[in-house]
Structure 1
């Protein structure tokens, strides 16, 4: 038992690397706060474009976009954006490469979630709003979208949790996020305790959010 503790839960090593991992956690939070709103905004725009556009070609284009980026590996997309753009004469900093690749990828997932939420709102809601004198846009903003987003809130939060964990691929660009710092410390100290500590940090960060998702899903099931 003592050997396991010394190997995976070494208190001295944990105290030594904690500030280093805390810096990595801060970078992870920064990346998450950058990429989640961008992906959410992109997904909302795509969902509205698909659901509100009267053009069949426009809906097909959105479907192709969503299917492509949901199928394309996120890590490969990040590498492509980061290392292929210099050949086009564009030298992007790592943070911008990550933002672009994550926005392209995550907006496809958010689009599907939001589109499902819009489809869950009965069409009579829009007609009722229009009968009160609202325009189509006003009915969408004040009646349809609030209900749609409320219906899919657990799914939106769940997807955001996955994005937080996916920011670890930023390590391929040398960005010192949490997992990158943990791996660096592990390679120097020849002990997996930094990885264990990083896992506990992820758990402490995301466990309350996962419990929130479960609570919201329970409320949604009772409501329906």
Structure 2
């Protein structure tokens, strides 16, 4: 049954180049979306900690939207909807420079920012109120208190959840194939259509996704062990 099964042969020649290019794009999309997710997520968590009901409700609405609308719908909305609202010159530039990639990365990053903000918000609740009062007593501003006192402790407390979200973000990059982004899943699907070696192609894709996922999980475990040791 498996006599002609040579999946590694697909890693050579033009198909191998296509797979590696897809993997590189997947990793780049993961990194770009991760930076957006954590940058926006930290900002949202900080805004929600302000003594303002308006700010709290605004962030709550943002989180509710991104947590309840399917991510694929959000990706399609950005690509087919939001991008069309941009000036024609910008639309033309994005179309000439892989506009689907940018729309997909933004959609993915903004969606995951909602989850990051909620994780950080939970982590902030573990920070003793006395630490905040002490920081304000020595003259730190709200921004300095968040940056030097609250967020470092919140990040440590929320680390397991943040690692899980980073893993989810990496896996969700496969949704970008719906808008023509040639990431790993898209590349695998293209090669499968050319060679009809469905089992071999998706075995390779599965192994690659699994390997990177295990690396992310192992890195998260090492970080958890490190910070747990420091707390002791």
CA 1:71/1:143 → structure 2, altered by over 3 Å: closer, same or farther? same
Pick one of 216, 219, 224 that aligns with 1:212: 219
Give the distance between the partners of 1:168 and 1:201, measured in 2 at CA. Answer: 13
For 1:20, the equivalent position in structure 2 comes to: 18
**What is the TM-score when the length of structure 2 is the normalising length?**
0.85
Does structure 1 residue 37 correspond to structure 2 residue 35? yes
For 1:121, the equivalent position in structure 2 comes to: 127
What residue ranges of structure 2 are gaps of 5+ in the alignment? none
- 1:178-198 CA-partner distances (Å, limit 9, x unpaired): 111011111111112111111
Give the distance between the partners of 2:102 and 2:18, measured in 1 at CA. Answer: 24
Shift of 1:104: 2.6
SS in 1 for 2:125: helix
Give the distance between the partners of 1:105 and 1:122, measured in 2 at CA. Answer: 29
Matches within 5 A, 1:1-224: 3-4=1-2, 6-7=4-5, 9-16=6-13, 17-51=15-49, 53-85=50-82, 88=85, 90=87, 91=91, 92=94, 93-192=99-198, 193-216=200-223
Q: CA RMSD in A?
A: 2.3
Shift of 1:120: 1.3
**What is the TM-score when the length of structure 1 is the normalising length?**
0.87
What residue ranges of structure 1 are gaps of 5+ in the alignment? none
Aligned residues: 220
